[in-house]
Structure 1
Amino acid sequence: MSGFTFWNDAPNVTRWGLGVGVGYRQSPYKGDDASFSPLPLVYFDNKWIHLFGNKLDISIGRWDNVRFTLRGEYALGDGYKESDAPILDGMQKRKGGFWIGPALAWDTGYGTLAASFLTAGNKGQKAGVDYSNAFDYGDFALVPHAGIDWYNSRYVDYYYGVEDNEARAGRDAYAGKAAYNLTAGVRLDYRLTPHQSLSFDAGVTRLGGGITDSPLVGRTVIPAAKFGYLYSF
């Protein structure tokens, strides 16, 4: 077993690419429809930085097969405005946030176990553990994944809470409680050419009780899917 190594002593090889995608996600809020969102894809990877989509990892070090990074992530799809659904009428707008914190990935030989702990100031904190394993079939790769995410009470209160001055008939005041969400899905990757690839990822999330107890929330299980095309240079 080797010791901890700061930064990265691997050769510096830079890869980058551009693409486009579309995301589908069912809203958890009562009366709010599912949404389709364009997803511009930017990919950049070298020994220090890995950027893909809305997630940036800066390498800190490695201990055997465990990689440590500092992560920055913009949460796509978080938040709402009062015009999104009748239940949100009169609610203050909730905005998406930029999250930052430590992350790690352990290549176990039987898949990758990843974890992160992120914070976004007044929007709270969240942490997650995810396991994935890739099965390669020529130009295809099948990647099942499952995870559990924790959200602290400040996060739940910001996105799902109801302040006293926002309460009305049919929408009681609600102070958010910490919650655990469970997620499972599968990703299919297909390499069209040495420079072009397609990816389709579909999954479901079961919301925790601290979220589903909110009078704003009308669903327990949230389906989501993403489709993307990437050209690598």
Structure 2
Amino acid sequence: MKMHLYTLTLTSALLLGATNAAHAEGNFGLGLGAFNGSTVYKNIDTEVYILPVLMYEGENFSLSPTRAEYHLQFNSNMWVSAIGALRLQGYDAEDNATFKGMDDRDIGIDLGASVNYYSEEIGFLSVEWLTDVSDASEGDEVSAIWAYPIEGKALTITPSVFWRWQSEDLVDYYYGVTSKEATASRAAYKADSASTFGAALSLDYKLTKSITLFSEVSAYSLDDEIKNSPLVDDDKDYGYGASIGFVYSF
């Protein structure tokens, strides 16, 4: 199911982009993780995915399973990043009866940029813009995140909060219903732009010099433009994500 993992990866991806440029070490990471993210669509149960994790952190370049970034450092505290990312959102019409008669909504490919800042006093700040270049939604997204890593000898705890705005084209592509897709039980629906607020908590534990255990939980609100869609569960007011796993660095 395409839509499950996107809800999880927002905070993880923003945190990765914000932290890698400041702590790049020029190494690869390979591991395994269990991922679970809620879906707001009707009649679709959440599932747990066991997936490989491949990461790279270099002086100017970083790579994660859904995202690649090139960093340009302004000074020791501030840098900009060019971003390429997968938008793991959408559905196939055959997924369940909710989408019967709908056109498929495809995974998107986004390009964009971010401005990032870090200091020990205030933590990480990042503002990011992405736009679809794959002819899927052709929409835009703007995100802002604040994260504050609390580092111990082996354990790092990082609380974060984020805000996300999605354009009308993006929201309507994934949650709208065109007139030709409308049925007696599924009204036509034209969605407008939407905003989301959320928070996350991540834990990283350095088990050995090479092995790091990671986990994260996140939750976020749903805008009325999404909740009012006939494709979305009536009682959905928020979404969530969770992950746990390990990475071996070499």
For the pair 1:39 / 2:56, whether they are aligned, the reply is: no
1:222 matches 2:239 = yes
**Aligned-pair distance for 1:49?**
0.5
Q: Superposition pairs for residues 62-73 of structure 1, below 5 Å?
A: 62-63=74-75, 65-73=77-85
- Partner of residue 59, structure 1: 71
What residue number does 2:4 align with?
none
Q: Which deviates the most, 194-203 or 103-112?
A: 103-112
What's the offset of the Cα at 1:54? 1.4
**TM-score normalised by structure 1 residue count:** 0.90
* Deviation >6 Å, runs of 4+: none
In structure 1, list runs of 5 or more residues that go unmatched.
1-9
What stretches of structure 2 of length at least 5 have no aligned partner?
A: 1-21
- For the residues of structure 1 that align with 2:221 and 2:245, how far apart are their CA atoms? 24
Secondary structure of 1:210 counterpart: helix
Question: Could you report, residue by residue, the CA deviation over 1:194-233 in whole angstroms, capped at 9, with x for unpaired residues?
Answer: 0001110001111112111111111221121112210000
Residue 84 of structure 1: which of 91, 95, 110 is its match? 95
Which of 113, 117, 134 is matched with 1:106 structurally? 117
Instruction: Give how far 1:53 is off.
Output: 2.5
Separation of aligned partners in 2, 1:162 and 1:214: 8
* Alpha-carbon shift at residue 64 of structure 1 (Å): 5.2
Length, aligned pairs only: 222
C-alpha distance in 2 between matches for 1:116 and 1:210: 22
In the aligned structure 2, how far is the partner of 1:64 from the partner of 1:143? 21
Q: Does 1:93 align with 2:108?
A: no
Give the structure with the larger strand fraction. 1
Q: Distance in 1 between matches of 2:110 and 2:50?
A: 21
Partner letter of residue 72 of structure 1?
Answer: G
SS in 1 for 2:169: helix
The one-letter amino acid paired with 2:68 is: L
2:154 counterpart of 1:142: no
| 1:151-181 deviation per Cα after TM superposition (whole angstroms, max 9, x unaligned) | 0000011100001110012211011210001
The DSSP-based 3-state class of the residue aligned with 2:180 is: helix
- The answer to whether the 8 A contact 1:197-1:229 is kept is yes
Q: Is the 8 A contact 1:29 1:85 kept in 2?
A: no
